[in-house]
Structure 1
């Protein structure tokens, strides 16, 4: 049985261990796109932050429409097979936009600490704040999560039907 505590625990594991999120956007002409991005997670309310070039396809799509969907995934096993007990994933929907310059300090350090936990790497790859403000060509983007689902593991072993279970945002980890 999946209770709120186990759903929150699984979500916490995904947020800690998944290195990338897949972000789906749609162009003004209706063309879909998915980008794989490194991210930082911020709780209360649930948010993701990622960095990208303003000229990238997903950034141009976001400038036209802020609605997004995305996923995180952990795969168990390795070269010898898949450990199904270690497989887990989440999907979400939300709204995404550039982090306003006035809020850049709020997310800047947390984003770079999450993406580059090693301090030496962080110093090497961290963009200065000035490179994340207009007219520079990079930005931090903020996804405000509106809905969250996990793979529903309750019946998979019995019928092999891939289902999702929605997790109320209030049940997501608070840190």
Structure 2
């Protein structure tokens, strides 16, 4: 029997371990797009932050339609094959918008520390806050997660049917 605590542990492992976030957007006309992005996550409520150019396709889509879906995935691979027991992942839906200049301090340091944990690399690639505000070409974006699902591993080994199990957003408590 899988408990909420088991799911919360898996949820935190996926959030802490997945390196990239796949974010699905749609244009004003409904044309789909998926972008693979580095991210930092924040709790209570669950949010993701990523950086991008304002001219990128997903950024243009977000201005017209802020509703998004996405996924995170852990391969469990060491290069010599896949350990199916260590494969895990999640899917989510939410709303994504540019972080306004007056909220940038809430996310800026943690985002760059997560994406570039090595201080020398961070110093090389980190954009100054003024380069993340209008009229600059880059922004930090905030995904407010509305719903969250984990891969349902309970029966996959028996029937190979890929299912999801929705879990409460507050299950990841630190």
Extract unaligned runs of 5+ from structure 2.
Answer: none
Matched with 1:10 is 10
Extract unaligned runs of 5+ from structure 1.
Answer: none
What's the offset of the Cα at 1:66?
Answer: 0.6
In the alignment of these two chains, the number of paired residues is 174
- The C-alpha deviation readout for 1:84-111, integer Å capped at 9, x for no partner, is 0010000000000000111000100010
What's the offset of the Cα at 1:39?
Answer: 0.1
Matched with 1:52 is 52
Within 2, Cα distance between the matches of 1:90 and 1:79?
Answer: 22
What is the DSSP-based 3-state SS (H/G/I as helix, E as strand, rest coil) of the residue aligned with 1:158?
A: helix
Matched with 1:144 is 144
2:98 pairs with 1:133: no
Name the TM-score, length of structure 1 as normaliser: 0.97
Within 2, Cα distance between the matches of 1:161 and 1:71?
Answer: 18
Within 2, Cα distance between the matches of 1:79 and 1:132?
Answer: 37
Within 1, Cα distance between the matches of 2:33 and 2:77?
Answer: 29
What's the offset of the Cα at 1:34?
Answer: 0.1
Matched with 2:122 is 122
What is the DSSP-based 3-state SS (H/G/I as helix, E as strand, rest coil) of the residue aligned with 1:154?
A: coil
Within 2, Cα distance between the matches of 1:53 and 1:81?
Answer: 36
What is the DSSP-based 3-state SS (H/G/I as helix, E as strand, rest coil) of the residue aligned with 2:107?
A: helix
What is the DSSP-based 3-state SS (H/G/I as helix, E as strand, rest coil) of the residue aligned with 1:15?
A: helix
Within 1, Cα distance between the matches of 2:120 and 2:79?
Answer: 31
What's the offset of the Cα at 1:174?
Answer: 3.0
Within 1, Cα distance between the matches of 2:119 and 2:9?
Answer: 28
Contact preservation (8 Å) 2:8, 2:173: no
Q: CA RMSD in A?
A: 0.8
Matched with 2:173 is 174
What is the DSSP-based 3-state SS (H/G/I as helix, E as strand, rest coil) of the residue aligned with 2:45?
A: coil
Identify which range, 79-88 or 94-103, moves more after superposition: 79-88
Within 1, Cα distance between the matches of 2:161 and 2:14?
Answer: 21
